[in-house]
């Protein structure tokens, strides 16, 4: 994530590992390293990563909002999200921690190692030949909505509402490889290691995520396909983990090694970053960012739209973590009363639900409508989510204002 909370540029003398981690802590635990390193280092790495940068520029589409160019942080416009239940690949949001790596498909290898009796090393053709699971699943960046929190300074990319998307993923289940490797009894966690690296890898730790073994054995997909085609470089080619129901940081791109361990990852971004840290709280003791929170989005009418008086069609999507969405409601009186929306279209576990409702607008003038979703555990979206230091998990209700003419 881009560092919006950093003040000034770090000098070479400060750029040791300890200096970096200290600066990262001051800037915000989710901050992107590249924005904190000196310009001379950033310029050098731009040259070194030119193929990845070219791939990012080529992937740009009118439906994407550029939040950061290096690494690529692209947000999908609400207009683009509203066109289809499945988000087109070229319009799907992009979030990278480091510059996009160049991974040669021919020399690519996936290792399964650690607390296993039979370590594995698989080529891409071998992975493609494995039985594959095909599922349509929603991914959301943990920082989606960060730019909408009312905070004086929140580190990280200022996403609004479009760091989310719904895509068709295909690839072998992680569980099938773990069973083949014969996980040992003391194993409790699965570490997902990737090919991307910071411009100064000796000073900056790589991003590494671990998930509980139970989740890894449940429904995690090692996706080589996205929306019916080979997964693009920007989205993790040649192989990306897809962790259903969890925020996107768990769905590691460019996966090269799967380590089975007794303990969770000791990576800086795992033990201090991606935590719901509140004032005065020790990040290492704060609740981790894991499962997606129940949330909904209005795609029609859009903010500032002019609509004809009479019946106004209100449409959008709703999603949640593993519990799934139970119901969606709209309100046109600032939350005093709520009326039920109805689900339409596809109903696939782990994918968002399309919904629609009708709103009566007899007279001309300014109007607004809000939407809230409730999951099957009874958790409902709040009018305003509680803010946290890094701006994670903002699932406040979505309000749209429009004009009836």
Spell out the residues 6+ positions from residue 127 whose beta carbon is closer than 8 angstroms to its own: 110, 171, 172, 222, 224, 239
pTM (two decimals): 0.86
Spell out the residues 6+ positions from residue 35 whose beta carbon is closer than 8 angstroms to its own: 2, 3, 6
Q: How confident is the model at residue 61 (pLDDT cuts 50, 70, 90)?
A: low
CB 146 within 8 A of CB 159: yes
Q: Is the pLDDT of residue 388 over 90?
A: yes
Average pLDDT, whole number, for the chain? Answer: 87
Q: Is the pLDDT of residue 201 over 70?
A: yes
pLDDT number for residue 114: 98
Q: Could you tell me where in the chain the CATH 3.90.420.10 domains are found? A: 13-288
CATH number of 13-288: 3.90.420.10
Q: Could you tell me where in the chain the CATH 2.60.40.650 domains are found? A: 295-404
CATH number of 295-404: 2.60.40.650
Burial of 351 (0-12, 13-18, 19+ CB in 10 A): buried
Work out the average pLDDT over 265-272.
Answer: 89
């Amino acid at each position: 994530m881009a560092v919006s909370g950093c003040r000034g540029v770090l000098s070479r003398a400060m750029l040791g590992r300890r200096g970096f981690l200290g600066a990262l802590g001051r800037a915000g635990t989710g901050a992107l390293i590249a924005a904190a390193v000196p310009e001379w280092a950033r310029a050098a790495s731009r040259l070194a990563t030119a193929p990845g940068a070219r791939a990012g520029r080529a992937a740009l589409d009118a439906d994407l909002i550029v939040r950061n160019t290096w690494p690529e942080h692209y947000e999908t416009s609400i207009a683009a999200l509203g066109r289809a239940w499945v988000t087109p690949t070229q319009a799907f949001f992009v979030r990278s921690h480091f510059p996009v790596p160049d991974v040669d498909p021919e020399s690519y290898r996936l290792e399964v190692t650690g607390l296993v009796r039979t370590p594995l090393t698989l080529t891409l053709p071998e992975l493609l030949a494995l039985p594959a699971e095909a599922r349509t699943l929603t991914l959301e960046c943990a920082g989606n909505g960060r730019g909408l929190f009312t905070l004086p300074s929140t580190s990280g990319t200022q996403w609004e509402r479009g760091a989310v998307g719904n895509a068709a993923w295909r690839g072998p289940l992680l569980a099938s490889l773990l069973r083949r490797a014969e996980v040992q009894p003391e194993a409790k966690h699965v570490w997902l290691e990737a090919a991307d690296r910071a411009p100064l890898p000796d000073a900056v730790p790589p991003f590494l995520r671990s998930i509980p073994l139970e989740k890894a054995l449940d429904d995690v997909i090692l996706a080589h396909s996205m929306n019916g085609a080979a997964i693009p470089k920007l989205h993790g080619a040649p192989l990306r983990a897809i962790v259903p129901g969890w925020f996107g940081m768990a769905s590691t791109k460019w996966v090269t090694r799967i380590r089975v361990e007794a303990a969770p990852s000791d990576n800086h971004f795992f033990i201090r970053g991606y935590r719901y840290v509140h004032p005065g709280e020790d990040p290492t003791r704060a609740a981790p960012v894991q499962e997606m929170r129940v949330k909904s989005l209005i795609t029609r009418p859009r903010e500032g739209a002019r609509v004809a008086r009479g019946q106004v069609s209100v449409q959008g999507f709703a999603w949640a973590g593993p519990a799934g969405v139970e119901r969606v409601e709209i309100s046109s009186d600032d939350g005093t009363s709520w009326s039920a929306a109805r689900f339409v279209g596809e109903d696939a576990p782990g994918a968002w639900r399309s919904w629609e409702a009708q709103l009566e607008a007899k007279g001309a003038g300014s109007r607004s409508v809000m939407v809230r979703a409730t999951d099957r555990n009874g958790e409902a979206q709040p009018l305003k989510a509680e803010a946290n230091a890094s701006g994670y998990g903002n699932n406040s209700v979505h309000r749209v204002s429009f004009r009836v003419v």
